[in-house]
Amino acid sequence: MAQPFTDESHPAEPYPGTRPDHCFVHVDETGWPVRPDLTMESGWRVEPENIDLDQWLANHGEPPLAARMPVLGYGSNANPSKVTWLREELGLEGPAVVLRARCEGLSAVWAAGMRARDGQRPATLAAEPGHVEEHSVWFATPEQLRVLDRCEGRGLRYRLVRLHTGRVVLYNGGVIDSVLAYTAGSKKRMPVLFNGRMVRCEDVSQRRALTLGERAAVTDGLDVTEVLGEPSADDWPELLFVYGTLQPGASAWHLMEPHVVASEETHLPGTLFDTGLGYPALRPGAGLGVPGFVLRLKSPEQSLPLLDEYEGEDYRRVRVVLPDGRIAWTYIWTAAVKGMSELPDGWDVHQIR
C-alpha cells in the first residue's frame, strides 16, 4: 500500500519538476496517494487510510469532487513542490486533487519564449495524432482555478479553453471530454520549432531546451473553445444517468423531459434497492449493476440545481463512469439501506407508471 510523501521527494527544479506516478491529494507539503475504487461514493480512495476521497476532503473542510472542475496539467502543475509554491506565492487554499490521466493525441512541447521569472523554458500543449503521454488532471475549486489563472497569465500568456482535440482518460477509465486546459495565448507560448518540428518535453531536458531558439509555430493544431468568464463545476458533464422515477415514461419524466436533448439505455455498476417509498436507492459498487438511461442535458448548469432540489437530502449528486468510459452525473442514496430489498433487474416498468 502506498504511503504519504513529502515535497522533498519531488523537487520543482529544473522545470517542470518531477511528479508522482500515481494520483494524489496534496496539502501542507504532503501528498496522499489516491486510487480508483468503485465502492466509494466519489469513486476514489485515499491511502493508506482507505477513506473515500470526498470524505477525506470533508474532513479538511473542503468541497467534494462534484464541486470541482477538471483542468489538464501537462507542465509543472502536477509537481507537488509547485503546488506548495502556489500556496506560498499566490495564496492557493485547500487540498489540491491531482489525478493521473492518459492523454491520447496530445503532447506537451517546449514553448517559443522563456519565463520572465527564472529564464526557464515553459511547456505548452500541442496536437499530435497517434501519440500518447501521461499527465494529470487537477480537480480545482473555483477559488483554486482563479489562482491557476494568475499563475498561467490567463489572457496574456495562456488562454483557458475547453479542449476538443485528443482523448483524456483517468485511471478509473473515465473519459474527460472537453477538459479545461491552458493553451498558448501569445506567440511566446506557441510551440517552438527546431529544424521545423515541435519538440516534446519528454524528449529534451530543460537544459537542452534552452538552446532551441525562439522560432514559434504558426499553430498548435488544437481544436479548442475559449472559456469566457468563470466556468462552473455544473457545466461538465452534460450527461445524467437516471434509474428510477426520472426515466423516460416514468412518473417524474415530465419534470425531466424539457431539459433533455437525447436519451439512450445503459447500465451503471452498483446495486439498486427498493426504499418502499415509491422510488429506488442507488449505492455504488462493482458488476454490471443497475439498468437505466443516460440523458444528454440542454444546460446542466440550469437543470442540475432543480434536480438537486427534487432529489432531496437523502441523495447526493456525483460523477460516475459508464461502461463505455463516458462520465455522467447521477444521484446516489446516502441514507441507510438496511432492511431494503435489492432490485437486481432495476426499477421495473410497472413501478414507474
Regarding predicted confidence, which is higher, 184 or 352?
Answer: 184
Q: What are the residues whose beta carbons fall under 8 Å from the beta carbon of 351, sequence distance 6 or more?
A: none
Residue 156 pLDDT > 80, yes or no? yes
Residue 35 pLDDT > 70, yes or no? yes
- Tens digits of per-residue pLDDT, 68-120? 999 999 999 999 999 999 999 999 999 999 999 999 999 999 999 999 999 99
Same topology, domains 5-230 and 237-351? Answer is: yes
Mean pLDDT of 330-350: 89
Mean pLDDT of 321-336: 96
- Tens digits of per-residue pLDDT, 242-257? 999 999 999 999 999 9
Q: What are the residues whose beta carbons fall under 8 Å from the beta carbon of 13, sequence distance 6 or more?
A: none
Question: Quick one: pLDDT at residue 138?
Answer: 98
Question: Quick one: pLDDT at residue 351?
Answer: 54
Place of cell 500543449: 125
Question: Quick one: pLDDT at residue 353?
Answer: 45
Say how far apart CA 282 and CA 284 lie, in whole Å. Answer: 7
Domain boundaries, the chain: 5-230, 237-351
Mean pLDDT of 234-247: 97
Q: Give the CATH fold of the 237-351 domain.
A: Hypothetical upf0131 protein ytfp (3.10.490)
The rounded percent of the chain whose pLDDT value lies above 70 is 98
In the sheet that 341-342 helps form, which strands lie side by side, from edge to edge?
280-283, 271-274, 341-342
Structure-block grid coordinates of residue 331: 444521484
The rounded percent of the chain whose pLDDT value lies above 90 is 96
Residue 349 pLDDT > 60, yes or no? no
Mean pLDDT is lowest, of 144-158, 246-260, 336-350, for 336-350
Report the mean per-residue pLDDT for the chain.
Answer: 96
Question: Quick one: pLDDT at residue 215?
Answer: 98
Question: Quick one: pLDDT at residue 289?
Answer: 86
Mean pLDDT of 291-318: 96
Residue 172 pLDDT > 70, yes or no? yes
Question: Quick one: pLDDT at residue 350?
Answer: 47
Sign for the CA dihedral angle at 72, 74, 80, 84 comes to negative
Q: What are the residues whose beta carbons fall under 8 Å from the beta carbon of 315, sequence distance 6 or more?
A: 331, 332, 333, 334
CATH class as words, domain 5-230: alpha beta
Say how far apart CA 218 and CA 220 lie, in whole Å. Answer: 7
- Tens digits of per-residue pLDDT, 248-293? 999 999 999 999 999 999 999 999 999 999 999 999 987 668 999 9
Question: Quick one: pLDDT at residue 257?
Answer: 96
Residue 320 pLDDT > 50, yes or no? yes
**With the CA atoms of 76, 238, 165 and 268 taken in that order, what torsion angle do they form, in degrees rounded to the nearest 10?**
90
- Tens digits of per-residue pLDDT, 178-191? 999 999 999 999 99
List phi, psi (to 5°) of 87.
-70, -45
Question: Quick one: pLDDT at residue 1?
Answer: 64
Residue 177 pLDDT > 90, yes or no? yes
Say how far apart CA 17 and CA 19 lie, in whole Å. Answer: 7
DSSP 217: P
Q: What are the residues whose beta carbons fall under 8 Å from the beta carbon of 250, sequence distance 6 or more?
A: 244, 347, 352, 353
